[in-house]
Amino acid sequence: MVFDLRFDRPAPGSNLEGRFRGAGNIPIALDAPFGETGPMLFRFGDMLSLLFDWTTVQSGMRISDPDHLLFDYTRMMMGFRLFRPAPRKIEMIGLGGGSLAKACYRCLPQCDITVVEIDPAVIALREQFHIPPDNDRFRVICADGLDYILSAPGAPDILILDGFDSRGLPPALSERSFYDSCRNRLGRNGLLVANLCDNAMAFATLERRIGASFENRTIVVPAENGGNRVVFASIDRGFPPARQTVRGHLPDTDVVDYDAKARRVVRALARASLKVPRTEH
């Protein structure tokens, strides 16, 4: 299904006319499969989005630069490299448009990466989002994230949680028992990286649950637009690090500005030092 939307007046400073030979020629397309919970592909100009429904954008990609991380929360999640710059093994729960999977694959060529996605229809769109094919160090598995955490062998250095459906964060992936299982899977030196995107009332509860599972060794960094929060957690006795030790001097600044992320982590640590941890019952 293709739509032709005409824009009489491009926004001030817009370069749409230069890129698409006039504001009336911006390519806009909606693609199937259709369903109550999607997924759907929506293209607007240089932007390709994965939608769960008409109101929920799951992820987005710049068509002219598929490896670019469009959203701040994904760039912040890559901030795990401030604490574990060269992990050997990464596991992810949730594929979506593959932004994080592609970033890890590109920036960490020596790392083994496993992505777990429950929806085969999402996996079927991987070529549209330029997600690498399976090979000896990268694979996408169709499985339930909870089942995988509980039963699959392995002890990753980094465990990334970014699994959502059309209703938000599934209950099975947000209970205290689930975060306990993540802690056990990671071991003492592993690092959890969790994207929290729900209503503001849920943030505090989820943060307390993760904190309880990880002995309150957490860092919580809000995304720039305020709609997401990224939580880093580890039971490593050296975590979280002292503020003065957080440095952003890492390569691949075309993917993430690690210096900027380090400054935000330092601010988050400063805020946390003023709070008294609460216990999750």
Other Cβ atoms closer than 10 A to 13:
5
Catalytic residues: 162
Nearest to 277 by CA among 232, 183, 212, 229: 212
82 Cβ neighbours under 8 A, 6+ residues apart: 246, 247, 248, 250, 258, 261, 262, 265
**Which whole-number Å values give the CA distances from 44 to 2, 3, 15, 130, 209, in the listed order?**
11, 10, 14, 17, 38
Distance CA 273, CA 141 (A): 39
Contact between 60 and 45 under an 8 Å Cβ cutoff? The reply is no
Give the three-class secondary structure for 4: coil
Distance CA 237, CA 246 (A): 16
Contact between 192 and 234 under an 8 Å Cβ cutoff? The reply is yes
